[in-house]
Structure 1
Amino acid sequence: MTAKISLAGVAKRFGSKVVLDGVDLDVAPGESMVIIGGSGTGKSVLIKCILGLIAPDAGSIRIDGQDVVGLHGSALATSRARFGMLFQGGALFDSLPVWRNVSFALSQGGGGHAAEMRAAAIDNLARVGLDAGVADLRPSELSGGMQKRVALARAIAARPEIIFFDEPTTGLDPIMADVINNLIVELVRDLKITALTITHDMGSVRKVAHRVAMLYAGKIVWSGPVADIDNSGNAYVDQFVHGRADGPIKMAMRRP
C-alpha cells in the first residue's frame, strides 16, 4: 500500500541550527500518527514542511506517492487543499460569527450561497457536539473548549484527506481534553481521515494514536504501535513518556 504521507531524508536548518536532520517517516492511509518530542525539537517545522509553508533543504515529501517539495502556484494550492489543520490556539477570527469561521475554507473556494454555507457549518458543528445555537455567536462568547470544537469543525468542513492537529488539548481541563480526544478518534474513523498530531500530552497520545514516532535531535529515533510505547526499548522514549528529569535527553541538553 502506498503511504499517504512519506518523508525520506527531510532536512532543515536555520543558520547554524540544524532542526531536521534526515527525517524518515511513513503514515498509512486512515492512520492516526502522533509525533512526540520535547519543545524545540522541530515537530512544528516538520508539519510546515509537509504543508509547503517551509521548503526543506533536502529530502522528499510524498503525498500518495507524489513529491510535493518545490510545488508552486496552483499546484501548491491544490496540494494544500487536501489538508485540514487544527491550530494550537484555535486561530478563530474574532470578527466573524462561528458559522463563518467554520465555513471559511468553503467561502474561499467560492463554495455556494451564504445560506448553503451556514447549513454546512451547522452540520459540521453538530459533528463536534455543538448545536445550531452557537452559529451566530462570536468566538469571544464561547468557552475555551467550545472554541476548540469550533476550530475542529472548521478543520473538517472541506472534508480534507489529511488533518494536522497541533497540540489539540493545550489549555483545556482534563475532562474537555478527553472530549477533544474522543472527537478526534471519531472523526478519523468516521470520515476516514489520515491524521498527524503533535502533542506533549501523553493522555492524548494514548487515546488518539494508532502509531507513535519520537523526534529527537532532528531524527525519528523510534516509531511503533501506541500499545508498545511503555515498552519501547528506547531510552529517549522511556524518559519522555514517563517524564523523568534524569536520562539521555537531560545529558544531551547539558552538552555545550
Structure 2
Amino acid sequence: MSKPAKIAIKDVAKAFGENVVLDGVSLDVKTGESLAIIGQSGTGKSVLIKCILGLLTPDAGSIRIDGQEVVGASEREQERIRRKTGMLFQGGALFDSLPIWRNVTFGLTRGAYKNPAKMRDIAAENLERVGLGADILDLRPSALSGGMQKRVALARAVAPRPEILFFDEPTTGLDPIRADVINDLIMSLVDDLGITALTITHDMASARKIAHRVAMLYRGRIIWCGPRDRLYDSGNPYVDQFVQGQAEGPIR
C-alpha cells in the first residue's frame, strides 16, 4: 500500500505582473519521502516553497498538507500548519547576536530568553545529532566555519521535531567533502526521524544522494519526475542537458 501524500500540489500558478513563474505545477510528496526539485535559477523553485509555506498566495491551484488546504487558509490555520515544518535556508540565516544554543532553540522559544538550562540541554542534544559538540554552545556563529554554521542551522531546523523539512540549496558554498557531510546528515534525519523532506538544489550529487525522487521544474512546470536512479537516464532531453551541464540542447 502506497504512502499518502504529505504535500499535495495541484495546478499551482503564480505570476508577478507579466512574469509567469509557476504555470500549473502539480506534484505530490509522500509521507517520509525525500524529494528534490532541480532546475535553472529563476525557474520558481523558491517561489514554490514560499507558496507551500503560505508566505506567498498562488494565483490559482491547490496546496494541501496532510489534507488541509493551505491556499486561502486563515493566518491561524497557516501558523498551525507551519508548526509542522522546518527550514534550512541557503545561507544558514543564523542570528549573529545570539550564542549557538539560542540559535538552535530559537524555534522553540520564539527568541525569548526562557528556561536557559533546559534549552541548553536541547541545543546540545540537537548539535550532537549533527556531529557538533557542546563546546560551541556559547560561541557566536561568526566563530564557526561555513560548514559548521550549516550544521548548526540544520540542528535548529530539527530541534522542534518538524514533520516536514524544506532545504534551500543545502550544499551551496561548501566544498565537496563538507557538502557530502550535509548530505549524509539530511539522509540520516529523514531515515531516523521519519521526516518528509523537500529540497531545491543545483547540486546533482546532492540530489542523487538525498532524494528518493527528483523532479525538474522548467518554465513554470514540472517536466519530469522520477526515481533518483533515473536522473542520468531520464530520456528527457531537457533533464539530460541540465544534469550533464551541457551548453547545447533545448534549454537556451
TM-score above 0.5, yes or no: yes
Aligned residues: 250
**In structure 2, what is the equivalent of residue 226 of structure 1?**
228
Q: For 1:52, what is the secondary structure of its paired residue?
A: coil
Code of the residue aligned with 2:162 in structure 1: it is: P
Does the CA contact (< 8 Å) of 1:2 and 1:65 recur in 2?
Answer: no
**What is the TM-score when the length of structure 2 is the normalising length?**
0.97
Structure 1, unaligned runs of 5 or more: 251-256
RMSD, matched Cα: 1.2
**In structure 1, what is the equivalent of residue 203 of structure 2?**
201
Q: Among all aligned residue pairs of Structure 1 and Structure 2, give the percentage whose two residues are the same amino acid.
A: 69
Does the CA contact (< 8 Å) of 2:102 and 2:111 recur in 1?
Answer: no
**1:109 Cα shift?**
8.8
**In structure 1, what is the equivalent of residue 129 of structure 2?**
127
**In structure 2, what is the equivalent of residue 253 of structure 1?**
none
Q: For 1:228, what is the secondary structure of its paired residue?
A: helix
**In structure 2, what is the equivalent of residue 182 of structure 1?**
184
**In structure 1, what is the equivalent of residue 5 of structure 2?**
3
**1:231 Cα shift?**
1.1
Code of the residue aligned with 2:40 in structure 1: it is: G
**1:72 Cα shift?**
2.4
**1:2 Cα shift?**
2.4
Q: For 1:84, what is the secondary structure of its paired residue?
A: strand
Query: Could you tell me how far apart the structure 2 residues matched to 1:76 and 1:124 are?
Result: 26
Question: Which of 51, 54, 59 is the aligned partner of 2:56?
Answer: 54
**In structure 2, what is the equivalent of residue 139 of structure 1?**
141
Query: Could you tell me how far apart the structure 2 residues matched to 1:83 and 1:106 are?
Result: 13
Q: For 1:249, what is the secondary structure of its paired residue?
A: coil
Does the CA contact (< 8 Å) of 1:99 and 1:122 recur in 2?
Answer: yes
Query: Could you tell me how far apart the structure 1 residues matched to 2:119 and 2:94 are?
Result: 17
Does the CA contact (< 8 Å) of 1:31 and 1:210 recur in 2?
Answer: yes
5 Å matches for 1:32-43? 32-43=34-45
Question: Which of 113, 116, 119 is the aligned partner of 1:117?
Answer: 119
**1:70 Cα shift?**
1.3
Code of the residue aligned with 1:234 in structure 2: it is: N
**In structure 1, what is the equivalent of residue 151 of structure 2?**
149
**1:204-244 deviations in whole A, cap 9, x for unaligned?**
01110100000001000000000111111111100001000
**In structure 1, what is the equivalent of residue 165 of structure 2?**
163
**In structure 2, what is the equivalent of residue 237 of structure 1?**
239
Does the CA contact (< 8 Å) of 1:111 and 1:117 recur in 2?
Answer: no
Is 2:194 the partner of 1:192?
Answer: yes
Is 2:100 the partner of 1:98?
Answer: yes
Query: Could you tell me how far apart the structure 2 residues matched to 1:181 and 1:2 are?
Result: 25
Q: For 1:8, what is the secondary structure of its paired residue?
A: strand
